[in-house]
């Protein structure tokens, strides 16, 4: 893979600059080329709905492309399987009205929880949603009537919020089961193995796989599939945990390069758009959010941490978001965001948890690093 460049390395500050875009998938690829990827780079589009993890992982994994040499046959088989999984997730998510992408937004969640069997149809008739569009080109008002009509015919879910979560997440069970078959894994086996460490304390341990609420089961299965995929690509678990100081994160970034983490991050976790900060790094502007603009948003999102800084008793974290494009012809397309280290610690999720679950440090890690540390680290 094209190596990120270490442009700041002091005792209290580390910052990696990622190569912009992605390798041209139609360029030849060999083990020698992968060693220090010299393929032309092209624009990386923003991630599609529910594929943020896949696109964030692209920043640290080797990408084979369409024309590998015979030595890369097995890696290409894995990549093909990976892309089939990613496309199935994307196809399902984009088949739903765009408002379903905001099902965990506090306003949407509050409204839909009040829609029950006796009033759901009338409420949906009275309200047309104009959601954030998947493309900036077009927004259409939509009706949820077909979904509320289906909701009132069933009895398992007591309000429309629960039903919407089911509609959004349930198909992912079959998608992930198909993906895990490639590795000869089953959900039950994965769950049994997931929390085998007696020192790991988690809210999930009070369940068996059979009696676990479906909403939790679906999200855990999603995590299992991602972990299996990352391991198949040879990615390494970072030793960093949110129970450590920012100095530990700085040290880890120096030695491992950029880190991919999941949790409650990104623009949807705030009530306002980010603003341009006074600080710039290299030739890049940085963006942040004003205090008090964070909202009670529960949907997970994956990002790539590229830097960290300690200023006296405070820490700050720099990251890029797969919801932004990355274009070698436009350095401004991909934004660099800054959050406090405190915010990172509170909102990061473990590799085997669909949301922050910080009872005690997880022995299963919180971040993924490239299988080979960048040469300049």
Confidence of residue 195 (pLDDT cuts 50, 70, 90): low
Which domain, by its residues, includes 102?
98-169
Q: Do residues 221 and 284 share a domain?
A: yes
Mean pLDDT of the chain: 87
The verdict on 59 and 120 lying in the same domain is no
Pairing between β-strand 13-17 and β-strand 5-10 as defined by DSSP bridges: antiparallel
Better-scored residue on pLDDT, 177 or 353: 177
pLDDT digits (tens, 9 = 90+) for 11-59: 999 999 999 999 999 999 999 999 888 899 999 999 987 899 999 999 9
User: Does residue 89 register a pLDDT over 60?
Assistant: yes
In the predicted model, is pLDDT for residue 136 greater than 50?
no
DSSP code per residue over 141-187: -B--HHHHHHHHT-SS-SSHHHHHHHHHHTHHHHHHHHHHHTTT--H
What CA–CA distance (Å, rounded) separates 92 from 156? 22
Do 75 and 186 belong to one domain?
A: yes
E-strand ranges in the chain read 5-10, 13-17, 22-23, 28-29, 41-42, 67-68, 236-237, 259-263, 275-281, 284-288, 301-311, 314-320, 336-340, 348-349, 367-369
Q: pLDDT tens for residues 72-82?
A: 999 999 999 99
Clarify whether residues 194 and 241 are in a common domain.
yes
> So what's the pLDDT on residue 190?
81
Are 79 and 115 contained in the same domain? Answer: no
In DSSP terms, 28 is beta-bridged to 67
CB-count burial class (<10 Å; 0-12, 13-18, 19+) for 303: buried
Residues in the chain, how many? 377
Q: Looking at the domain assignment, is residue 72 inside a domain?
A: yes
pLDDT higher than 60, residue 135: no
Residue 61: the pLDDT is 95
Q: So what's the pLDDT on residue 234?
A: 95
Angle between helices 171-181 and 73-94 (to 10 degrees): 170
Q: How far is CA 231 from the centre of its chain?
A: 16
Residue 154 located in a structural domain:
yes
The CA dihedral of 88, 94, 100, 105, to the nearest 10 degrees, is 90
Q: Please, what is the Cα angle at 357 between 267 and 53, to 5 degrees?
A: 45
Tokens of 291: 């205090």
Say if residue 217 is in the same domain as residue 160.
no
- Among 169, 188, 203, the domain-final residue is 169
In a domain, 374, yes or no: no
- Output DSSP code: residue 369: E
Residue 64 class from Cβ within 10 Å (0-12 exposed, 13-18 middle, 19+ buried)? buried
- Residue 106 CB-half CA count within 13 A: 7
Q: Are residues 234 and 281 in the same domain?
A: yes
- Which residue in 235, 226, 238, 236 sits closest to 183, CA to CA? 226
Report d(CA 302, CA 319) in Å as an integer: 10
d(CA 117, CA 153): 8
Confidence of residue 359 (pLDDT cuts 50, 70, 90): low
- Chain Cα centroid distance, residue 217: 18
Residue 242 has pLDDT above 90, yes or no: yes
pLDDT band at 217 (very low <50, low <70, confident <90, very high): confident
With respect to residue 376, please indicate whether it lies within any of the assigned structural domains: no
* Structural domain includes residue 299: yes
What percentage of the chain reaches a pLDDT higher than 70? Answer: 89
Residues 141 and 205 in one domain: no
- Under DSSP, the state recorded for 185 is -
Domain count, the chain: 2
Residue 58 placed within a domain: yes
Domain presence at residue 375: no
Q: Which of 169, 202, 231 is the last residue of a domain?
A: 169
**Residue where a domain stops, chosen among 169, 195, 222:** 169
Shared domain for 52 and 182, answered yes or no, is yes
Cβ-based burial of 107 (10 A; exposed 0-12, middle 13-18, buried ≥19)? exposed
């Amino acid at each position: 893979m094209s190596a990120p460049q270490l442009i700041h390395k002091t005792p209290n500050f580390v910052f990696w600059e990622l190569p912009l875009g992605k390798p041209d998938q139609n360029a030849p690829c060999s083990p020698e080329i992968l060693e220090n990827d010299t393929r032309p780079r092209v624009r990386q589009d923003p991630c599609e709905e529910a594929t943020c993890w896949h696109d964030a992982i692209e920043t640290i994994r080797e990408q084979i492309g369409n024309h590998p040499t015979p030595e890369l046959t097995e890696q290409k088989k894995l990549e093909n399987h990976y892309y089939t999984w990613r496309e199935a997730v994307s196809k399902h998510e984009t088949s739903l009205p765009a408002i379903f992408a905001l099902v965990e937004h506090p306003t949407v969640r509050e409204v839909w929880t009040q829609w029950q069997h006796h009033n759901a149809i009338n409420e949906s008739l009275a309200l047309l949603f104009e959601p954030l569009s998947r493309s900036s080109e077009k927004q259409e008002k939509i009706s949820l009537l077909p979904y509320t009509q289906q909701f009132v015919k069933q009895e398992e879910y007591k309000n429309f919020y629960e039903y919407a979560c089911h509609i959004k997440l349930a198909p992912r069970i079959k998608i992930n089961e198909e993906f895990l078959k490639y590795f000869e894994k089953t959900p039950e086996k994965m769950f049994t193995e997931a929390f085998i460490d007696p020192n790991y304390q988690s809210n999930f341990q009070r369940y068996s796989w059979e009696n676990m609420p479906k909403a939790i089961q679906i999200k855990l299965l999603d995590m299992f599939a991602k972990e299996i995929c990352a391991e198949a690509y040879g990615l390494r678990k970072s030793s960093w945990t949110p129970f450590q100081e920012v100095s530990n994160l700085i040290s880890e970034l120096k030695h491992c390069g950029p880190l991919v983490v999941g949790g409650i991050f990104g623009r949807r976790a705030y009530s306002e758009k980010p603003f341009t900060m006074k600080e710039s790094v290299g030739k890049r502007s940085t963006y942040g959010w004003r205090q008090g603009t964070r909202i009670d948003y529960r949907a997970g999102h994956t990002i790539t941490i590229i830097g960290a800084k300690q200023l006296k008793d405070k820490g700050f974290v720099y990251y890029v978001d797969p919801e932004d494009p990355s274009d070698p012809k436009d350095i401004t397309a991909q934004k660099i965001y800054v959050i406090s280290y405190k915010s990172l610690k509170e909102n990061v999720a473990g590799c085997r948890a669909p949301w922050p679950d910080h009872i005690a440090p997880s022995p299963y890690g919180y971040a993924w690093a490239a299988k080979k540390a960048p040469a300049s680290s």
